[in-house]
């Protein structure tokens, strides 16, 4: 059904897997479109109460596909950034509860994807990073309000502006993660949590999710990020941002 994702259902539990492990599960425009479509597809499966969101292989996601900067993308820069926003909204608004199962690196847009999930469980050795400012672009896709909602404004500013990596223990202490488990136990633990939640009445699950989301939306509404694409397009034309982006991409090429 999808080119870049694996989607399956086992009773009341579904699974949505980013399935490009050789490329570190990048979030290309195709992946973003398919993620939104998968969320809508799960909405049409009334028996599904819980959806586990994860990445194939040893990494959750390396974030946005940087081919958008070299003209390789088939859509405009603005469209690509808007697709990221639409992906996060579709996942967050999905009727079923979503659980992000995070192992390895969770970078940039991958972290926004995780933030759009209802619950987040990570392996103890998972690592997180928000490199966008170093790339010469603002964090988009509704990432700022979602991070403020989960970890507060001060830490959001620090992590986004410094671009420093942080480990799973810091993410848990900040409130971004619900649980930490040994890497070898991650899949079994998340499956057990999903089955526990799936044993509960659908109405109570959906009502609780919508109630919490309604409260937090009044506090930090993600709809305020509808114009994220404007900041991204402006950054592409800004000389200082462009210089930072070129240096970042040169450094990445040297490492590979």
Residue (of 122, 117, 104) closest to 60 by Cα position: 104
Domain 5-183 top-level CATH class: alpha beta
Ranges of each domain in the chain: 5-183
Q: Are 62 and 25 in contact (CB under 8 A)?
A: yes
Collapse the DSSP code of 200 into the 3-class scheme (helix H, G, I; strand E, B; otherwise coil) and give the result.
Answer: coil
pLDDT at residue 227 in the model: 67
What is the reported pLDDT for 217?
83
**Average pLDDT for consecutive 10-residue bins of the chain (256 residues)?**
96 98 95 97 97 98 80 63 92 97 97 98 98 93 94 97 98 98 98 98 97 86 67 87 89 74
Compute φ and ψ for 220, nearest 5 degrees.
-140, 85
Question: At a CB cut-off of 8 Å and minimum separation 6, what does 99 contact?
Answer: 50, 51, 52, 53, 117, 118, 119, 120, 121, 190, 193, 194
243: CB partners within 8 A, 6+ apart: 136
Characterize the bridge pairing of strands 127-129 and 166-167. Answer: antiparallel
pTM of the full structure: 0.92
Q: Give the model's pLDDT for residue 231.
A: 84
Distance CA 119, CA 179 (A): 9
The closest alpha carbon to 89, from 148, 143, 161, 153, belongs to 143
Contacts of 51 (CB under 8 A, 6+ apart): 13, 14, 15, 16, 42, 94, 96, 97, 98, 99
Q: Are 102 and 116 in contact (CB under 8 A)?
A: no
């Amino acid at each position: 059904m999808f080119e870049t994702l694996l989607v399956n259902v086992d009773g009341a539990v579904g699974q949505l897997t980013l399935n490009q492990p050789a490329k570190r599960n990048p979030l290309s425009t195709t992946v973003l479109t398919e993620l939104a479509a998968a969320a809508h597809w799960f909405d049409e499966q009334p028996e599904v109460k819980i959806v586990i969101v994860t990445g194939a292989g040893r990494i959750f996601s390396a974030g946005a596909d940087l081919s958008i900067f070299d003209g390789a993308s088939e859509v405009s820069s603005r469209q690509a950034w808007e697709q990221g926003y639409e992906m996060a909204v579709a996942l967050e608004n999905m009727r079923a509860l979503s659980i992000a199962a995070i192992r390895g690196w969770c970078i940039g847009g991958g972290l926004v994807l995780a933030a759009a999930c209802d619950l987040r469980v990570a392996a103890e050795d998972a690592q997180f990073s928000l490199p966008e400012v170093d790339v010469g672009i603002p964090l988009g896709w509704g990432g700022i309000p979602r991070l403020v909602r989960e970890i507060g404004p001060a830490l959001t500013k620090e992590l986004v502006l410094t671009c420093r990596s942080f480990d799973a223990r810091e993410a848990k202490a900040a409130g971004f993660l619900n649980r930490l488990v040994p890497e070898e136990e991650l899949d079994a633990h998340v499956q057990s949590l999903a089955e526990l939640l799936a044993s509960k009445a659908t109405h109570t699950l959906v009502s609780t999710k919508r109630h919490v989301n309604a409260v937090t939306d009044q506090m930090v509404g993600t709809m305020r990020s509808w114009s994220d694409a404007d900041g991204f397009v402006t950054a592409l034309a800004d000389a200082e941002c462009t210089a930072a982006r070129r240096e970042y991409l040169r450094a990445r090429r040297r490492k590979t």
